[in-house]
A = this chain, B = another copy of it.
């Protein structure tokens, strides 16, 4: 059975040494996150996910969820107790304001713990994950009364949340949605329609489920300008906060999916269900985007979590499986064969996954930190700069980390040979579970379009310019430092590739938007490689400093080797991405649709 160990030590190193989180102690909540608190929180989060979440991963996949005759849904054995442990530990509200029962810690700490959950048991961790997204949306757009009604219960984990966007005929193009809302005259609305692919849509983990639903109010404009957001509780809430009558919303069916079997992916039927408007009428997409942006980062974290879990199991197997001899002569002459970790192609695979994972974790935490700064700083310029970076990196975290995270689960599975294809070993599940992260919360092609069509041109390209300057400054600042040369010298050509791509798009995409569309995915991965390379630069700097302090020499040396591996073997991908972007849209768009 696969196992999981939360990367607590590495995460602490990233927060303390690489990101120097205590520089931000002037932000609300940060001073509470002392080094001791961080260590304690991550340690406890690690334990919960290792001891409670991970042992249910394989069994949850096999058992899956069950919809009963009455439409209620049962989660796999053990999920309820595990969820209760999570709720009782106060994890749901880790970074929610204290006013609503949370602990008010930085979002970046919560993000670190999210990774552990996603690595240990993705299907299970989605229940609280969606709830945290719904909490975020209500915090920003809910009325004071809505906040009071829903947030404390959600923060304590008694109620969970969902996000209802997709309909059978519309996923990406939400302007096509048909679910309609009719005013009841008492301030509430009556919602009717069908939503599909609703994760955690129904289950037996919580007393109530708070659905956030987009719908069109009767008479609203067509398209995205007529979309409103509603809160629709599964069980109506009485004025005193107690639970009342069942609302007219139910799970019509469970989807039969490739993976995340432990999560109930529901068809949700709204049959005149009572809901209340969240935020302004016809501005629902704006409100939903708060949740979406949070969710997109969280989905990127899923890609990382699955990549890390798959890596750990591949390492364990590569150390134990005896097969063949090292090319340089037997390494375990007392045994029938050497462990396969002696083979360079096995090493290459493991190095490649880990060199990604460590930089991806740095990127996730760095981006989450921008979210904290953007929301908590008193300084408008600092807020703006952080918000720019957050916006620019959100599609990269979602798109690149899930594309590569999935590919890494496949590579890790490959280490097992035929055993990797057998479900009992658990490697197939990592692949099947990680696959969804490339799709939901905006398929990765949509992330790429978000980057190239919105984030890149926004405010005259301000965010991208700031990022390019930041990396260029880093390269210049460390160019004379011999220890840093292996990490900054390769960054320069990669940065040049990114700059050339941006320049080419400026010259060729405004007049011919198809040139942007055809290069979107490659730009996302090009930016991804550069920012991961930049993260390795930051990690190397911190590792060298730690070594100079006499701390953890072996672990730091390993990081320096991994960073060099990234620079030598992974970062050169930028040249290929640039070549593809500069190829433009001509051949891509040349064929008539019938010719395919």
Binding site for B on A (CB under 8 A): 166, 169-173, 176, 196-197, 255-259, 315, 318-319, 322-324, 327-328, 336-337, 339, 341-351, 354, 406, 410, 413-414, 417-418, 420-424, 428, 431-432, 435-436, 438-440, 443-445, 448-449, 513-514, 516-518, 520-521, 554-555, 558, 561-562, 564-565, 568-569, 572-573, 575-576, 579-580, 583, 585, 587-591, 593, 595-596
* CB <8 Å contact, A445 and B587: no
* CB <8 Å contact, B596 and A315: yes
Q: How far is the CB of A340 from chain B (nearest CB, A)?
A: 8
Residues of B near A440 (CB, < 8 A) are: 418
* CB <8 Å contact, A344 and B580: no
Known: A449-B345, A517-B327. Contact between A354 and B596, CB under 8 A?
yes
Known: A322-B169, A345-B445, A421-B257. Contact between A328 and B513, CB under 8 A?
yes
Of all A-B residue pairs in the complex, the 5 with the closest CB atoms, nearest first, are A344-B517, A327-B513, A258-B428, A568-B583, A565-B587
25 A-B interface contacts by CB (under 8 A): A170-B323, A172-B417, A257-B421, A257-B422, A257-B428, A319-B593, A328-B513, A328-B514, A341-B593, A343-B517, A345-B445, A345-B448, A347-B518, A347-B588, A347-B589, A348-B518, A349-B445, A351-B591, A354-B596, A414-B443, A431-B435, A432-B432, A555-B595, A569-B587, A572-B579
Among residues of B, the one whose C-beta sits closest to the C-beta of A512 is B328
Task: Tell me if A's interface is mostly helix, strand, loop or mixed.
Answer: helix
* CB <8 Å contact, B558 and A587: no
Residues of B near A319 (CB, < 8 A) are: 593, 596
With a 10 A CB-CB cut-off, give which of A344, A414, A424 has the most chain B CB atoms: A344
A176 to B335, CA, bound (A): 11
A556 to B591, CA, bound (A): 12
A572 to B587, CA, bound (A): 15
A444 to B410, CA, bound (A): 12
* CB <8 Å contact, A176 and B417: no
* CB <8 Å contact, A580 and B575: no
* CB <8 Å contact, B596 and A350: yes
Residues of B near A583 (CB, < 8 A) are: 568-569
A414 to B585, CA, bound (A): 20
Residues of B near A328 (CB, < 8 A) are: 513-514
A348 to B348, CA, bound (A): 29
* CB <8 Å contact, A344 and B588: yes
* CB <8 Å contact, B569 and A351: no
A564 to B341, CA, bound (A): 41
A343 to B342, CA, bound (A): 46
* CB <8 Å contact, A418 and B590: no
A440 to B347, CA, bound (A): 20
Residues of B near A423 (CB, < 8 A) are: 256-258
Q: How far is the CB of A454 from chain B (nearest CB, A)?
A: 13
* CB <8 Å contact, A558 and B348: no
* CB <8 Å contact, B443 and A417: yes
Given contacts A558-B595, A569-B587, A572-B575, 13 further A-B contacts (CB under 8 A): A166-B418, A169-B322, A171-B417, A173-B323, A258-B421, A341-B596, A345-B520, A347-B518, A348-B518, A413-B435, A417-B443, A420-B439, A576-B576
With a 10 A CB-CB cut-off, give which of A257, A259, A440, A444 has the most chain B CB atoms: A257
Residues of B near A591 (CB, < 8 A) are: 347, 351, 558, 561-562
A152 to B406, CA, bound (A): 47
Q: How far is the CB of A198 from chain B (nearest CB, A)?
A: 10
Q: How far is the CB of A494 from chain B (nearest CB, A)?
A: 12
